[in-house]
Amino acid sequence: MKKILLAVACMLAVLPMPARADARNVVVANFRFEPQQTVAAAGDEVTWTWAQGATDHNVTFGDGTKSATQATGSYSRTFSAAGSFPYQCTIHPGMNGSVTVR
């Protein structure tokens, strides 16, 4: 029995770890963006999804790109170039986030 358990343990040790949640998905809820900082590669799309029961929020970037003001649904943006892209909800001061594209 110990040999079987040892064999199973060895097999589990070499299996790849399950993928973590996609860091390019941001939840809009509780007057914050989660995660607040997102890292993406050039060409990646980042999606903001309003949590159930969320109040009206928007996602507004300094370059003028923005989502609709909404309480449900989602908004996506594709980042084609490297850089830092801070954003905010213009309705709620202090509700900020950023996307770093590498």
Query: Domain residues of the chain, as ranges?
Result: 21-101
Q: What value does the mean pLDDT of the chain take?
A: 83
Q: Say what the pLDDT of residue 23 is.
A: 57
Q: Which CATH number fits domain 21-101: 3.30.360.10, 3.30.1330.10, 2.60.40.420, 2.60.40.10?
A: 2.60.40.420
Burial class (CB in 10 A: 0-12, 13-18, 19+), 8: exposed
- 21-65 pLDDT tens trace: 345 999 999 899 999 999 999 999 999 999 987 799 999 999 999
Q: 61, 53, 9: which is closest to 27 by C-alpha?
A: 53
Looking at the chain, how many residues does it have? 102
- From CA 95, how far away is CA 56, in angstroms rounded? 12
- 53-101 pLDDT tens trace: 779 999 999 999 999 999 999 999 999 999 999 999 999 999 999 999 9
Cα-Cα end-to-end distance for the chain: 50
